[in-house]
Amino acid sequence: MIEMVVHGVTLDPVSQMPIVILKAKDDEEMLLPIWIGIFEADSIVRQLQKVEPPRPMTYELAKNIIQSMGARLEKVVINDLRDSTYYAELYILHGNDLIVVDSRPSDAINLALRFEVPVFVEEKVLEKSKVPKPEEEEEKEKLKEWLENIKPEDFEKGN
């Protein structure tokens, strides 16, 4: 498994759908873009910007429920890619019991950000989702520049 961090959220220039960009913690060039829903993306952006909602929204509510039951989220794992759909799992520790819960990656990432726990991606998922590497140096630079300049505000322009 590879530990990833949330690099940011941006919009796909073609479909105008949000993409969360995960970057390997120890390898700046290893990326995983995942297309997600608008509401999930907005929630990730709010968390990255440390915007506190006046009342608990869905992910704050889920965090509050888990904590009020005396449990804690240990990690999330993006564990599969089938038919262009990513799958994830939440690893919740309740006493001595480890509970593994199926999740959409966008929901898992949202909870990981709120609990400040690591996001892991199975190596097989990274292999299946290889982002083609540009062959020409100019294309590499354009891709690198685009990824380095992703900001939460880029997502907000699409709303």
What's the pLDDT score for residue 115?
A: 97
Element (H, E) at 2: strand 2-11
pLDDT in tens, 75-114: 999 999 999 899 999 999 999 999 999 999 999 999 999 9
What's the pLDDT score for residue 21?
A: 93
How many CB atoms neighbour CB 76 within 10 A?
28
State the pTM of this model: 0.80
What's the pLDDT score for residue 155?
A: 54
- Bridge partners for 73 per DSSP: 92
Contact 22, 4 (CB under 8 A): yes
Contact 122, 78 (CB under 8 A): yes
pLDDT in tens, 117-141: 999 999 999 988 876 555 555 666 6
pLDDT in tens, 3-56: 999 999 998 888 889 999 999 998 878 899 999 999 999 999 999 999 988 898
Tokens linked to 117:
């726990």
Place of tokens 């939440």: 90
Q: Looking at residue 64, which CATH number applies to its domain?
A: 3.10.690.10
User: How many Cα atoms are found within 13 Å in the side-chain-facing hemisphere of 2?
Assistant: 20
Rg of the chain in Å (alpha carbons): 16
- Give CA–CA dist 107/97, Å, rounded: 22
The residue among 74 and 153 whose pLDDT is bigger is 74
- Domain containing residue 86: 2-156
- Bridge partners for 101 per DSSP: 90
Q: Output the CA angle 32-144-81, nearest 5 degrees.
A: 15
Question: Hey, what's the torsion of the CAs at 147, 153, 157, 159, to 10 degrees?
Answer: 110
Q: How many domains does the chain have?
A: 1
Is the pLDDT at 156 greater than 70? The verdict is no
Element (H, E) at 155: helix 152-156
Q: What is the mean pLDDT of residues 68-74?
A: 97
